Chain A
Amino acid sequence: MGWKRKDLLTMQELDAGEIRTILDTAESMKEIATREIKKVPALRGKTIVNLFYEPSTRTRTSFEIAGKWLSADVVNFSASGSSVSKGESLLDTAKNIEAMSPDVVVVRHSSSGTPQLLAEALRCAVVNAGDGAHEHPTQALLDLLTIREKKAHLEGLHVVIIGDIAHSRVARSNIHGMRKVGMTVTVAGPPTLIPPYVQELGVKVSHRLEDVIADVDVIMMLRLQQERMTAGLIPSLREYSRLWGLTLDKLAAARPDVLIMHPGPVNRGIELAPDVADGPYSVILDQVTNGMAVRMAVLYLLTGGKAQ
C-alpha cells in the first residue's frame, strides 16, 4: 500500500490501514538500529527541519537520530517562547523555512493547531511533533507499535489511560489511534483533569483507579505537570500520588500480563512508584526505542518511500 498524504498532523485523520502501514514500515526500520553501522541511504539528499517552539530534548533527539540513520540532513531550529514574543509571526517563519527548501518540517508548538496552519502554508511535508493539548501522533504510533510487539495484536485489547487527560496531547492521539485499530479505551483521573464531553471521543470514563486496573491489557500513565496543582486542579501532589499513583500494591489487582506504559519523563514517586517504573510490567524503554523506528518510518513514507 502506497502512502498518499503530504503531512502527518493527527491520528484522527488516519485510517486503520494507514496506521498499519506506518507500524509495518517501522518494524522493518527497527533492524537498522541493530546494525553495526546504523545508516541506510534512504533519505540521502533530503533535508529535515526540526522546528521546536517548545523545548523537548527527547522528541527532538528522537526525530534527529531517525533522520540521520536514514542519511538525511537534519537542521534544528529552536525558538524560545512563542513566536509572538519574538516579534516574528509563525507565517513569517514558515516562509523563511520554505526558502530553505526542506523536504520535511517537524514542528512542536505549545498552541494547538499550529502544525495544521503550517501545513497549509508550506509545500513540504509537515509532521506534528506535539501541538498544545491537541495531538502527538508519533507518540501514539510508537505506543501502538510497542503494544503490538508485546501482545502480537491490537484489536480487542482494552487500555486505560490514567492522569491528566484534559491537557494531554498524548491521550488524544492515543484515543483516536487505539479506537481506529479496534481497541477499547477508558480514561481515568480526578474530574478536574478529565475534559468535558470526552465520551464523545468514544471512550469510557472512570474516576477511581481501583475500578479500572483489574481488567485491562495496558495501563498508560500520563505525566502530571506540577503546575496543575497551582492551577487549583488538584489539592496536592501528595494526595494525587496517593489516589492516582501506581504502586506495586495497587498493581496486585492487575492482570499478570498487563503492560505499563508512560510517555516519559516519569515523575518517579508521583504517577509511578520507582519499583513499578523499573519493574517487569514496564515497557517504557521499549517505547523510546520504538520512537526512533516510528519516526524513521514516518519520515521515509512522507518523503516518497514505498511501504514494504
Chain B
Amino acid sequence: MNLLIKGGRVIDPANGVDGVRDLLVQDGKIAACGPALAAPEATPTIDAGGKVVCPGFIDLHTHLREPGYEYKETIATGTRAAAAGGFTAVCAMANTFPVNDNRAVTDYILAKARVEGVVRVYPVGAVTRNLKGEELAELGELAEAGCVAFSDDGKPVMNSGLLRRAMEYILPFGTPVISHAEDLNLAAGGVMHEGAVSTELGLKGMPTAAEEAMVARDIVLTELTGTPVHIAHLSTAGAVRLIRDAKARGVRVTAEVTPHHLVLTDEAVRSYDPNTKMNPPLRPKRDQEALLEALADGTIDAIATDHAPHAQAEKEGEYDHAAFGIVGLETAVSLLLDRLVRPGLLDLPSLVARLTVGPARAFGLPGGTLGLGSQADITILDLGRELTIEPARFHSKSRNTPFAGWQVTGMPWMTVGGGRVVMWERVIKGGFGA
C-alpha cells in the first residue's frame, strides 16, 4: 500500500493543486505531494509522465442490482466496471430485491462489497418501505448501518407529507435525501421527452414540468426541514434555474447530471433504439446547453452515471416496452473527456472537481481529495488515448449502451484504491479490501 506516482499533472481541485508533481502514498494514505519526491526503498513506482493524476472519482448514482437482480449486475461485476471506468467509489441505489430498506440488506451489501467488490461501495437507503411511498423505512438503523443518503430512486416519493416526515426524521443523522424528481401524474407514462420529436415519432412524452414541479417541491421541503436535498439526474433548463436560485438563497441543495444528458439529445430517439430510453429522458439542445452552463458555473455539483444495467431482452424490441436506463460506469469518463473537455465546453480541472470534491461534499463522503493524510484513492487519466467503445469488452454484466462503436479520445488509465492498484489499462488487478 505504498506507491510513488511520478511526474504526472496532478489536478486536485479540493486543494487548489494543478501542476506536475510526484505523489507519495504510504500505508494507503497520501503522504506527500511535490516535485521530485524521494521514496523509501522498494516503493513501487508508477511513471505518470504525460498523464493526469486526480483524486479517485466518486459516482453518486449507481445501480449495482445485487441483491435480487444478479442477472443484470452484481457487486463484483459492478465494482469492476466502476474501477475500469476510473471510479474508486460508488453509491449503490436502494431499488434492489429485497429493497435496501432495513439494516440486514445494508449489512449484506457492505459485506459483499468487502469480499467481492474492488472499489468502495456506499449504500443508499430507501426512504420508504419497499419503495412504496407509504411508510418510512427504518431510516435511523439504515444510517447507523452505513447508508450515506436516502432515496426511493427509480421512483419519486409522491406523498409530500411523507417526504417531509422523512426529512425531519433524518435531520440528526446529517444525511441528504436524493430526489428522483418526477411528478408521476405529469409524466403520465411517457417514454421520452415531450416535445417536437415525441410528437413526430408518436411516442408518449414526459414534459419538463414533471421534473421541475418536483425540484421546486423538494427545495421547499429542504427549506422547511433543514435536511439537504440532492437532485439526481438533473435534465431540464427549468430545474437548473430553480437550483441556481435556491443556492443563491443559501438553500442546502446539490445536484448531479449524467454524461448521457450532456452528450445526447432527444434527436437520438429517432432511431427507436431502446438504448436511448432513459428516465429522465434525453432532452432537446436548449436543456442540454443549460446543463452544460450549470456544470461549468458550479450550480451542478457532480457528474453521476446513473449506471442502470439491464439484460438484453429488457432492452430490445418495442420502444414502449423496453426498460429505462443505460450502463454508464465504463463510458462516462471517456465521453466526458472527448465530448466536453476536448471541444472546450468544460475545462479539465472543473471536470475533475465534478467527479471528486463535488460528489464527496454533496454526500459528506471521505475521498475526493489528495490532501495529506487522506485515503489514497487516485484516478490517473490518459488524455491522448484513442479508443472505440466496445460493449463486448465491458466488465459490467450488461451491455445496454447507446454509445457502442463511438470513437473517443481519452480514458481512465489507472485506478488506485487505498494505495493499491485496482485497475490498469482496463485490466482489474484486484480489490483493496482483500
Interface-facing stretch out of A27-35, A64-72, A109-117: A109-117
Contact of A111 among B313, B316, B321 (CB under 8 A): B321
Give residues of chain B (185-226) contacting chain A, Cβ–Cβ below 8 Å.
194-196, 198-205, 207
- A109 to B200 Cα, complex, angstroms: 17
In the assembled complex, 24 residue pairs joining A and B whose CB atoms fall closer than 8 Å, in A order, are A84-B318, A89-B317, A112-B272, A112-B319, A112-B320, A113-B201, A113-B272, A113-B318, A113-B319, A114-B319, A116-B272, A132-B202, A133-B202, A134-B203, A135-B202, A169-B202, A195-B198, A195-B199, A196-B195, A196-B196, A196-B198, A197-B196, A201-B199, A201-B200
Q: Is A40 an interface residue (CB 8 A)?
A: no
Is A200 within 8 A of B317, CB to CB?
Answer: no
Is A111 within 8 A of B194, CB to CB?
Answer: no
Q: How far is the CB of A111 from chain B (nearest CB, A)?
A: 4
Which B residues lie within 8 Å of A114 (CB)? Answer: 317-319
Is B195 within 8 A of A197, CB to CB?
Answer: yes
Q: Is A273 an interface residue (CB 8 A)?
A: no
Residue with the highest number of chain A CB atoms closer than 10 Å, among B195, B201, B317:
B317
Contact of B203 among A83, A91, A109, A113 (CB under 8 A): A113
Q: How far is the CB of B310 from chain A (nearest CB, A)?
A: 14
- A172 to B202 Cα, complex, angstroms: 8
Is A131 within 8 A of B202, CB to CB?
Answer: yes
- A131 to B321 Cα, complex, angstroms: 14
- A172 to B201 Cα, complex, angstroms: 9
Give residues of chain A (276-299) contacting chain B, Cβ–Cβ below 8 Å.
none
Count how many chain B residues have C-beta atoms less than 8 Å from C-beta atoms of the other chain.
20
10 smallest CB-CB distances across A and B, nearest first, come from A134-B202, A113-B272, A133-B202, A111-B318, A197-B196, A90-B317, A195-B199, A112-B202, A200-B196, A111-B320
- A114 to B202 Cα, complex, angstroms: 12
- A195 to B193 Cα, complex, angstroms: 13
Interface string of B163-203 (1 = CB under 8 A from A): 00000000000000000000000000000001110111111
Is B317 within 8 A of A83, CB to CB?
Answer: yes
- A198 to B199 Cα, complex, angstroms: 7
Which A residues lie within 8 Å of B204 (CB)? Answer: 133
Is A132 within 8 A of B320, CB to CB?
Answer: yes
Q: Is A186 an interface residue (CB 8 A)?
A: no
Given A89-B313, A196-B194, A197-B195, A134 and B318 contact (CB-CB distance below 8 Å): no
Interface string of A28-54 (1 = CB under 8 A from B): 000000000000000000000000000
Which A residues lie within 8 Å of B207 (CB)? Answer: 196
Give residues of chain A (90-107) contacting chain B, Cβ–Cβ below 8 Å.
90-91
Is B199 within 8 A of A197, CB to CB?
Answer: yes
Q: Is A82 an interface residue (CB 8 A)?
A: yes
- A201 to B202 Cα, complex, angstroms: 12
- A131 to B272 Cα, complex, angstroms: 12
- A200 to B267 Cα, complex, angstroms: 14
Q: How far is the CB of B215 from chain A (nearest CB, A)?
A: 20
- A135 to B201 Cα, complex, angstroms: 8
Is B195 within 8 A of A82, CB to CB?
Answer: no
Is B202 within 8 A of A196, CB to CB?
Answer: no
Contact of B321 among A84, A91, A195 (CB under 8 A): A84
Given A111-B321, A112-B272, A113-B272, A91 and B202 contact (CB-CB distance below 8 Å): no
Which A residues lie within 8 Å of B201 (CB)? Answer: 112-113, 134
Is B199 within 8 A of A83, CB to CB?
Answer: no
Give residues of chain A (175-223) contacting chain B, Cβ–Cβ below 8 Å.
195-198, 200-201
Q: How far is the CB of B304 from chain A (nearest CB, A)?
A: 29
Contact of A132 among B195, B203, B317 (CB under 8 A): B203
Q: How far is the CB of B400 from chain A (nearest CB, A)?
A: 15
Is A117 within 8 A of B317, CB to CB?
Answer: yes
Q: How far is the CB of A208 from chain B (nearest CB, A)?
A: 21
Give residues of chain A (128-154) contacting chain B, Cβ–Cβ below 8 Å.
131-135
- A132 to B201 Cα, complex, angstroms: 9
- A167 to B362 Cα, complex, angstroms: 42
Is A91 within 8 A of B318, CB to CB?
Answer: no
Which A residues lie within 8 Å of B196 (CB)? Answer: 196-197, 200-201
Residue of A nearest to B317 (CB): A90
Q: How far is the CB of A168 from chain B (nearest CB, A)?
A: 9
Beyond A172-B202, A196-B195: 5 further Cβ-contacts under 8 Å? A82-B321, A113-B319, A117-B317, A197-B196, A200-B196
Residue of B nearest to A84 (CB): B321
Q: How far is the CB of B264 from chain A (nearest CB, A)?
A: 17
Which B residues lie within 8 Å of A169 (CB)? Answer: 202
- A90 to B319 Cα, complex, angstroms: 11
Give residues of chain A (77-93) contacting chain B, Cβ–Cβ below 8 Å.
82-84, 89-91
- A172 to B197 Cα, complex, angstroms: 12
Residue with the highest number of chain A CB atoms closer than 10 Å, among B195, B201, B202:
B202
Contact of A196 among B199, B313, B319 (CB under 8 A): B199
